[in-house]
Structures are given as structure tokens and as C-alpha cells.
Chains A and B, each alone.
Chain A
């Protein structure tokens, strides 16, 4: 079992050594041509929602406005996710290239890269990247002599998970409270400062640069029909070899990622469950993980590929404790705007905290009801998915949890 290396590579720290070949190629094309190439590649957004990137760019290109913006979302907050950090630290020039290509393709002359505030290293690195790129004429007026002007600003996040949501992130850049906006209007038509805006994840933009570099055909030869190309998987938890792995969609199973790439469970303990896409996705049990690693297969199994965070949980942990931990996270991180998410996560946390070995059917049903309400009625993706972990644990380990209550 090997990684498929499309994105992962070593980059020199010196901008002089980076060829910017994708950018050169893109600048020689018409913007519509760049969009067409990305659309053809079938690339989907890697932030978690999986929206087709080419479609997003096409819509943005069609928008007419005095100013458009491109935003690189580096507010990587989903627990268990660290691939954007890996890219920002290891291949910042490729990320930069992706941002400029996106801007060129959509006609945006200004851009922002929003990096999670705790990411000291990436922020430091990207600051330098911006300086050197400006010096070298990679950004600024007349990008690489192409006549296209583009400037990029770095914004440091202030620690709110919700700002990973694109509309909340836009509010945050505008200096407003980090809370989601009501959609429509979508950022594509009315985003940052009410102008058409595309927001793309770090990995998406890096992949876009590499697609332009190597061609959509190459990308199309990788993966499955619904999951094109490769994905950076953040493997963590009770595995022997945690880390960022690049896998080709459909070529490996979730099980293989854990047992081959990750070298299995620590101390050879049995597996309890896997969180296949970050803690806002449903857990999968040992019986459910012998499935190809693709968007469609994981969805079929009742969960989501999300951001690519695969968290492995071995047997032996206190399930209520784990749920309490996740619950605490969501309670703290809900923005507080919509009632189901704010009050639902608060109630669930307080209920779990008081469980004390007495998780009965009634409590479990109330949590399920709250979960359903949040899922169906919350205002943004954060809320809608905030109880996925807890409810799936409750459902899949119900006997164990309720038995534990009776004893």
C-alpha cells in the first residue's frame, strides 16, 4: 500500500526555486479556459462540503462587478484536520499559485488568505511568501508581466471554529461578528463587501494549481467518477503512524488507510470506531470501514468524507467521556445566533455532564430529538452537523451505553 503523490511534494523555501509553471500556464490561457479545465477535472471543494470547484469558478466568472474577491480558507478548525497546515507549511508557493489562478480565472483583483489564528507557523511562513511574491512581481500590479493585477492580504483568524464557514469567515474579514449569513445570496453573487466572492479551501486551491500544471486529463485518470483525483487524509487518534497521507480515491479502503498506511491500532487494541471526516461526521464501526475511500462510499455508509480527518478510536475509552468532549467543543463553538444550535448543544452538554453512568432511554431519546431538530433547522453547516458524532455513537453503541446505565 502506497500513497499516490499528486499534491504532496517538497518545495524549496526560496521563491527563486519555485517555477510557478501552473501560474504561467494559466496566465497564457483565457480565464474561461482555466475554468473549463478545472470544471473538466471534476475537482470538488476539500473544505468539507464538496461543492464542485469548477462550477463555483464558472458562476463567479459570469458575475459582473466592479470588484470580485477570492478568499483562501485556511481557518482549518475541524478537530482532527491538519492537511491545510501541512500544505501551508510545506508547499506555500503552490497554495499561492492556486489562489492567483483562481483569481485570474474568476476576474478577482483582490484576495484574502484567512489562516487559523493558532497556526503560528503557517502565518509566519505565508507572511514571508507574500513579501517575496510581491518583490518578485508574482502578486501586485501586472502579475508576471501578464497585465493581470492581483493583490493578496493575509488575515489571521481569532479562534472561532464557525469562521471556517465561508459566510462567517467573510463577516470576520469585514470586522464583524463571526456568524453565518443567510443564504441566498450566496458569496458568489454577494460575498465580501457585498461583491462576488469565491471562497476555496487551501487544499482545493493547491489541487487546482496542480491540475493546471499536470492537466485535467491526468487528474481524471485518478479516482472514481464521483470522486476525482487524490485526497489528503489526516490520520490521527489511536494509530501507530498518524500523519497526512495522500490517497487516490477508490484505490484504498478506509480500513487500509488505518491498518496499512497508519500501521494499525496502537498497542494492538481492537478498534472501537472511526470518525471518517472530522468530528462533525457520523462514526463508523469496525464492520463498516471495509469500504473504498470515496465521497460516495462513505456517504453510502451513512457518514461523510468531510474534511478528510480520519480519527481512529480504539476500544477502552469511556464513550460518555468522548461524547462530552465533542459536545463541549460544539457548545463552545456555536456562534450563538440560531436557537437550535446554541441551546441544543448547551442542553446536550449539560445532559451528558449529568449522566454519571445513568444514560437512560429517555435522555438518549431527548438527545436524539435535539439532534434531529438541529440537523433539520439550524442555520448553517456547523449547527446542522454538530450532533452527528454524538447521535451516531448513541445509536451504534446504544446497548452498551444503556446497559451501562442499568448496572
Chain B
């Protein structure tokens, strides 16, 4: 342990900790912009500079290791003065204009620049803003870049490269012309971007945000000719209260349903329903591949970020990917066929909107294979915006119930939103379908939690199923390399985002490890409180097979619920 003093407080911290970490342990807040927990230290913004006794110059708290006997001062006239000037410099480079574009910014509610200004106590801006004059990047279906707002802190670069293992971003040019861009300035839609949106969560400003669909959704909601149905992904319910001041992980399923109804959606359905359906279809596929032969390991297909990843980086393994559409797209397909036919609504008049914790879902919805089954995809953030615009007091809403037939789901579907959840849901169903016996203990703890790669061997009758779970594309890449090296598995769950969908790129800011843990807890609580906890026992799933699809894996099921992939390469 290292003993040091920060602002007169005597502290003991582990060797190797930085001044910033030590200060945080002592509940001293030092402003930062380029620092992000879990990413390498960049030391660029210099907002965290502090005085260290014996040092001539100020030292960056994020990049300076705590040393025995160190005397640190984080709040001196010199530090305050330097931070103020620094902040003026940063803001002058950040496209703040007399058009008050702060107000129209995607981060107007949670801008880290604003937070820093609040901490530093900015009272004057003496510098003229510099117009950098860059164009916006609208090449992607999922993500927009506004480089004029970029302060080149490099967090998106590091997130993409270090956490996600991809690296579509880079710094280009030199000096003040330094800019974050994509390879050859091609734009995010024309490089190997998986659309995961983790960069959006990392961006301290509004330089990155999703391609908004909410204006379009308002339009169709106001069009009396349109019948608008909405589906909500599992991870949304444990995050939607955050923008309204709620704790991460607060279970707000009922309020979510009520809010959507108040917004004017004609039917409020649950993506969970098709998550259950996915399990039945994918479980059937897994059993078939194991017993009758087929490409193994079977790789899950729910996460569109992961799908784009494998299409780019491991196209040779595309045969291993389950042909099941994701729950969002299964819902869209069923809504536009089964639901539309049953209720005699024409395809043109039916609008399917989904609320997703995900930016990649926007890309997925427009894939040609998906035939426009889902019209608009809102992120959790966009929905929160709509609820605010409508003046709905989210916290005070009564709890509503999902509409039927596509509103009932098992607890197995809720945990889809957490890493390991799809695996666990599949195991619950596969066990009973294969053995014909009831599963006693439903919790597969070995696939739960935030460890990057989780492995388990599960005995199902005579079969030993070797399973693995990876979340965050950096971990996914490691696992893919192991598969390529010949390691054998039967079934692997892969999610593009750290923590699974609950940590998705469409979730509210901040999304960090602490928040992910709380949202995860919320999802497992929902599951444990439900009577119905196995997908194949969902009576409405049985009904939809009886009424429409026939049996799992049937021709019709294949037509509607399965898809194919594109080898994209790099």
C-alpha cells in the first residue's frame, strides 16, 4: 500500500493506482474529459492537472501514479486558473455558436462539457469560437457523426479499438487540424463499423449520436390512417427510468407500457414474446444440428452488432450462425403477417416500431433480407425524449399491461437483455425438449455475470453440451480465434456490447460497469419473480404455432423467422 496526502487528507491506496483513482477513493472529484474507466490513459484534455509537491509543472491526475509520501493539491489558485483557461480553450473549439446549438444537441441533458463547466465554475468566455467547418457524416444507417462538436479526446477511438477490438476510428492530420475520422474518411457506413454504438456512450459531447427515427414515429402516430404497433426489447425496461432520474436497474415495465400507450401507439407489444419464439426456433435448430449433424458450434444471432462483426471479420464461419432472425425481426415478420392477417390490417397501413437498447437494430431493420418488417427503431434514449416531449411524468405513471397475443413472455425472455441470458433461456428449453423431464434448478449461474468470456459444460441427458458466452466484441474476437484454432463447443452466445443488450449503444448515458451491474440485477429480478420462466411453456407461443406457424422449424417458420447472411469481409 502507498501512503499519500490529497488536499490534506491522508490516504492509503494500492500500489499502481493513479492520483485520480486515489482522489476518487477520497471522494474528491477531479474534472476529466478524455479519461474513461476501462480504457487506456490518454492524458490529452489535461483538465485533471493537479499540483504535486516538488514538481515544477502541474501533473495529470489520470496519468500520474500515486507515490509514497506524495503531497497532492487538487484545488489551488494555480490549478483553478489553469483549468478555467483550459476549459475556455476547449469550448472555443467545440462549435458553440450564437445559434445556441447546445439546446439542439443530442447530449443537451448529459453533456460532459457542461458538467465540467459546472465543476470548474466557469464565469467568462473570452475566446471566440472557432468554426472548424467540417461536414457531418450521415453515411451510416445507425450512427451520425458531427465532427464540429468533436473535441478529439479519443474516447471513441479507444472504445472501438480496445473494448470492441475493431478500430474504425483514427486520428488524422496534425495540430489544430487533428480530427477523428474513419479510414480514408470514408464515413462510418462505409467501413467495418458494426453499428454497436459504444462510441456514442463514450463521447463526452454530442459529436456522435444515433440516426434519429423519432420524428418519423411522431409522424405516423399522428396519421389516423396508420395502425402503429410497438415492441419493447428486454433491456429497455430496466433503463428507461434513468433519464427521468430513476436508479439504473429500476424495473419500469408497467410504466413503459403506459407511456407508450399515452404516446398513441395502437398496440403495445413485447419483443420478449419473440424472444421466447427465438428460443423455441433456435433450440430446435441446436438439437437438430447436434443430433442430425450441421455446423457446430451454433452461434446465436440476436445481436445485430455481432452479426455485422462476423460478416466482416469471420465470414468463413457464417454457416455456424443460427439462421434465426433476431427477436426484433421475428416480431416484425409476425406482426406484418400473422397479426395483420388476423386483424385485417393491410401491410401499407401497419407500422411496426421497436424500442431497442441498440443502435445496430436500426441497421438490421433496413437489411434487404428483412423486407422492411420493422419500420422504425427507437433507442431507449429516443423513447425517453418522446416521453419528455409529451409531458408524461414517467415516475408517476400507473403500470400498464402489454397487449395480446404478442405481449406475454417468460422470464427466460427478460434475461435476453443480459449477457448469458440467451444461453440460459436456451438451456432451460433444450433440457426439457431433449430429456422430456422437468428442469429443477432453472438458474445457470455459470453463464451469468460480467466476466468477458464464460464457459460451461451442461449435462442434458446423455449429452454434454459445451457452451460459451462472450460479450463485448473484443471478447468475441478472442473466442472466435479459439474456435478457429480448433476448440470445440456446441453452442455459443455472442453479444456485441459489454454486458449484453443492457449495456447497448442505445441505452441512456452514463452506461458504465456500475450501471450495467444494476440493470443486470433488474433483469434477473424480473425473471425470478415470474411464474412462467421457460420459453417453450409460453402459452401464446404454443398458440401462434397452432394457429399460424405449424411447428418449430416448419416451412412457414423458416419463411418468416429465419434469414441468411452476407459475407462482407474487410
Q: Residues on A close to B: CB < 8 A?
A: 160, 177-178, 182, 184, 331-340, 342-347, 350, 362, 366, 369-370, 372-373, 375-379, 384
Contact = CB atoms under 8 A, between A and B. Distances in A.
Which one of B57, B89, B93, B128 has the greatest number of beta carbons of chain A within 10 Å? B89
Contact of A345 (B85, B126, B175): B175
B44 A379 contact: yes
B175 A340 contact: no
Contact of B57 (A335, A344, A346, A384): A384
A346 B176 CA distance: 6
A182 B175 contact: no
B398 interface: no
B111 interface: no
Contact of A182 (B43, B47, B57, B127): B43
14 contacts: A160-B174, A178-B174, A182-B63, A331-B175, A333-B175, A335-B174, A335-B175, A336-B174, A339-B45, A342-B93, A346-B175, A373-B82, A373-B86, A377-B86
Contacts of B126: 362, 366
Contacts of B81: 369, 372-373
B190 interface: no
Given A370-B89, A372-B85, A334 B57 contact: no
A163 to B, nearest CB: 11
Contacts of A373: 81-82, 85-86, 89
A282 to B, nearest CB: 16
A332 B175 contact: yes
A343 B175 contact: no
A332 B176 CA distance: 7
Given A339-B86, A343-B92, A377 B46 contact: yes
Nearest to A181: B43
A339 B151 contact: yes
A340 B85 CA distance: 9
Interface string B174-189: 1111100000000000
B49 interface: yes
A73 to B, nearest CB: 19
A332 B44 contact: no
A379 B43 contact: yes
Given A338-B46, A350-B128, A377-B49, 15 more contacts: A332-B175, A335-B174, A335-B178, A344-B89, A345-B175, A347-B89, A369-B81, A369-B85, A372-B82, A373-B89, A377-B58, A377-B82, A379-B43, A379-B44, A379-B46
B78 interface: yes
Contacts of A375: 57
Interface in B52-66: 57-58, 60, 63, 65
A11 B534 CA distance: 87
Contact of B46 (A184, A340, A345, A346): A340
A339 B89 contact: yes
A376 B130 contact: no
Nearest to B62: A182
Interface residues on B, range: 35 or more
Given A336-B173, A366-B126, A375-B57, A343 B90 contact: yes
B290 to A, nearest CB: 45
A378 B85 contact: no
A136 to B, nearest CB: 40
Contacts of B195: none
Contacts of A366: 126-127
Contacts of B58: 376-377
Contact of B44 (A337, A344, A369): A337
A168 to B, nearest CB: 11
Contacts of B57: 375-377, 384
B354 interface: no
Interface string B32-76: 000000000111111101000000011010010100000000000
A7 B126 CA distance: 51
B532 interface: no
Most A Cβ at <10 Å: residue of B65, B90, B176: B176
Contacts of B46: 338-340, 377-379
Contacts of B93: 342-343, 346
Closest 10 A/B residue pairs (Cβ): A336-B178, A343-B89, A346-B176, A373-B85, A377-B46, A376-B58, A334-B175, A377-B49, A182-B63, A373-B82
Contacts of B178: 335-337, 342
Contacts of A362: 126
Contacts of B460: none
Contacts of A370: 85, 89
Contacts of B92: 343, 347
Contacts of B175: 331-336, 342, 345-346
Contacts of B65: 184
Contacts of B43: 182, 338, 379
Greatest chain A CB density within 10 A among B42, B60, B82, B171 is at B82
B152 interface: yes
A340 B89 contact: yes
A232 B171 CA distance: 38
Interface in B104-132: 126-128, 130
Contacts of A346: 93, 130, 175-176
Contacts of A336: 152, 171, 173-178
A159 B152 CA distance: 22
A161 to B, nearest CB: 10
Nearest to B178: A336
A14 to B, nearest CB: 41
A341 to B, nearest CB: 9
Contacts of B78: 376
A347 B63 CA distance: 26
A26 to B, nearest CB: 36
Contacts of A369: 81, 85
A345 B89 CA distance: 10
A379 B45 CA distance: 9
Nearest to B51: A376
A177 B86 contact: no
Contacts of B151: 339
A7 to B, nearest CB: 31
A350 B85 contact: no
A338 B154 CA distance: 11
Given A182-B63, A366-B127, A376-B49, A345 B82 contact: no
**Interface hub of B42, B60, B127 (most chain A Cβ within 10 A):** B127
A182 B41 contact: yes
Nearest to A383: B46
A298 to B, nearest CB: 17
Most buried by B among A331, A338, A362: A338
A341 B44 CA distance: 10
A331 B127 CA distance: 16
Nearest to B126: A366
A71 B45 CA distance: 30
A95 to B, nearest CB: 29
A178 B177 CA distance: 14
Contacts of B152: 336, 342
A43 B65 CA distance: 31
Given A182-B41, A182-B43, A369-B81, A334 B176 contact: yes
Specify which of A334, A336, A366, A370 lies most central, judged by the most chain B CB atoms within 10 Å of its CB: A336
A86 to B, nearest CB: 28
Nearest to B170: A177
Nearest to A332: B175
Nearest to B127: A347
